[in-house]
Structure 1
């Protein structure tokens, strides 16, 4: 069986056809598939703006702009990876724990076939379900988080499950190996100094945006590699890591963030890490009238697929 790859835009205009990620085929049969991209359209765990349930559709729409070759990494993604759009995983609007159960169950056949999962949220609460599924297969995993918030609060309004708490729950459930976990990009006003300290107390290495600006991107990438070491790693990318002047369409924007170019450089710099899953979350198209946020999100996923392709190429040599 040949590899699954996008429709050729030189033969079929980008504005035509069904809106799948990067114009990849929508396939549920996982034979011959290396990577499955899927949506998790759930957003009723947000604490400010809702609407990220429409994020997967918006990212798919703008991903029609993606081509196949990454000149910065000198790789044609689909020479090395067979990739499909698996569609959306089932969710239950308003019921987060039911949604978690359904997402975990829906991911089991993907992981059972050794297919790499790439999720598109949805708010950041969905990552906990992905980590539950991943940990069933790999045990506690290394963890890289690009985000403006740590998402390690204990609760909101007396509730343990929302988009500000998933990684405290993940640590409590033994899904993340915190000795191999790092959070990058935290910034913005806080309730107090303990908001940052709680991530460190849980075992995460934490780099605020101020830290990154002081030390530089190469130092951050070196710290990431040193921290995660060898072994399976999950990457989560919250689009609010990018400054709202570049990515306005998100639920909890924080000024003083990173450019789209810096986001690309950071993801490209992850070549060689043993990834077992990835997601991108918190795209909110109602506040993204030009589509620029969804365009950045689509390109971040493309950069990550490029990293996977380079990893596979290097293993084959």
Structure 2
């Protein structure tokens, strides 16, 4: 009876798969040679490999192949996930150093049924792009200045390698090369400063789409008091420094999801000084997701774009595990809808930050929300194609 039950289950599963995506659907392969066949040797089988269950095996983002890219350059990639476990620039709750591992844990089910993104009509796990999880940058927790340097150099080492696809095609980096794209798992939001330094070294001043409940353009003397040069760089001031260092493309940057309290309306003046337009979180009640998407797309146009997503863009009901939660935020569905609406933009790199798993629920609400949002970002990058394609001379915009 047991054998008949197993055979019935396998037959039913085969029927379901047969009516799925005929072009892409295939079982996830794994490293375990013929374990199913050996355990049930009376059941006909092809003696193939047996994949890990979704709850077993080593955690990588979306169960992607892992390669220690900072230890070896033997593997090429088109998109790489990289962790930056840093949280000593936060002003409230620490814990985002565990964000990269938490997000990977929250991403386990992304590829369970084959990884097809239905709204975007694409499968980022089964496409032209070679995608890897490159592990984490080794970041010290004892010296912020040195940690920031480690993040910048680690990111730039991955960003400036030849991609797996179209490596010899002309691209729109400053050197005229096609480069891979890096998606960084944070880490508190301080990490965006060294990441922007890396991206700007490769592309020149960059336009930024910033999802957050906070402005993060505070002057150091206002946010943190700036008793030392090291203390002046934190998760509330990094955009101030990015502007001062010439990393940002002027008048093409935008915040979305803002709802923080301020010392006064003059705080917005500094935000404009750093080249940002603001979309308040509450605007979703009047212009909807479509209106927010329209504002963002009009602001950045066809320029190279860096995407930075603070998980506190979401309301704490959807993402409680974050360093500085603010009520009145968007739902996970709304954020994913808005991100999907940015399809076609020229994202050269991205990050998601401020995921602090220790404050999450047992249901892993925050880490799953972060992983699912990056699933949208990853799909958009794949649909856009290699960075060498569909780019016209003279449209760099810097």
Give the structure-1-normalised TM-score: 0.93
Report the secondary structure of 2:278's partner residue: strand
Q: Which moved more, 1:244-253 or 1:176-185?
A: 176-185
Q: Higher strand proportion, which one?
A: 1
Report the secondary structure of 1:280's partner residue: strand
Quote the residue 2:131 is aligned against: 83
Report the secondary structure of 1:179's partner residue: coil
Q: Which of these two proteins has the greater Rg computed from alpha carbons?
A: 2
Aligned counterpart for 1:152 among listed residues 197, 208, 217: 217
Work out whether residues 61 and 108 of structure 2, in 8 Å CA contact, stay in contact via their aligned partners in 1: yes
Deviation of 1:197 after TM superposition, in Å, equals: 3.0
Report the secondary structure of 1:81's partner residue: coil
Aligned counterpart for 1:104 among listed residues 144, 149, 152: 152
Q: Let me know the Cα RMSD of the aligned residues.
A: 2.0
Deviation of 1:150 after TM superposition, in Å, equals: 0.7
Deviation of 1:7 after TM superposition, in Å, equals: 5.2
Deviation of 1:107 after TM superposition, in Å, equals: 1.8
Quote the residue 1:12 is aligned against: 52
1-structure distance, mates of 2:353, 2:191:
8
Deviation of 1:313 after TM superposition, in Å, equals: 8.7
Quote the residue 1:49 is aligned against: 93
1:204 aligned onto 2:248: no
Work out whether residues 89 and 190 of structure 2, in 8 Å CA contact, stay in contact via their aligned partners in 1: yes
Work out whether residues 54 and 285 of structure 1, in 8 Å CA contact, stay in contact via their aligned partners in 2: yes
Aligned counterpart for 1:25 among listed residues 41, 50, 65: 65
1-structure distance, mates of 2:235, 2:84:
14
2-structure distance, mates of 1:308, 1:45:
29
1-structure distance, mates of 2:52, 2:90:
38
Report the secondary structure of 1:120's partner residue: strand
Q: Can you list the C-alpha shifts for 1:275-311, whole angstroms capped at 9, x where unaligned? A: 1100000001110032110000000111101111221
Work out whether residues 60 and 298 of structure 1, in 8 Å CA contact, stay in contact via their aligned partners in 2: yes
Q: Can you list the C-alpha shifts for 1:125-167, whole angstroms capped at 9, x where unaligned? A: 0010100000001000111000000101112132310100111
Q: Can you list the C-alpha shifts for 1:159-200, whole angstroms capped at 9, x where unaligned? A: 310100111111111111132111111103222222333212
Q: Can you list the C-alpha shifts for 1:16-51, whole angstroms capped at 9, x where unaligned? A: 111111111111246431011011000011101101
Gapped runs of 5+ residues in structure 2? Answer: 1-26, 31-49, 162-178, 391-398
Q: Can you list the C-alpha shifts for 1:92-125, whole angstroms capped at 9, x where unaligned? A: 2142211111111112221221221100101000
1-structure distance, mates of 2:335, 2:369:
9
Quote the residue 2:186 is aligned against: 121
Q: Which moved more, 1:204-213 or 1:147-156?
A: 204-213
2-structure distance, mates of 1:222, 1:311:
19
Work out whether residues 87 and 94 of structure 2, in 8 Å CA contact, stay in contact via their aligned partners in 1: yes
1-structure distance, mates of 2:288, 2:148:
37
1-structure distance, mates of 2:187, 2:270:
25
Give the structure-2-normalised TM-score: 0.75
Report the secondary structure of 1:176's partner residue: coil
Aligned counterpart for 1:132 among listed residues 183, 188, 197: 197
Any residues of structure 2 matched to 1:275-290 within 5 Å, and which?
A: 275-290=347-362
Work out whether residues 30 and 110 of structure 1, in 8 Å CA contact, stay in contact via their aligned partners in 2: no
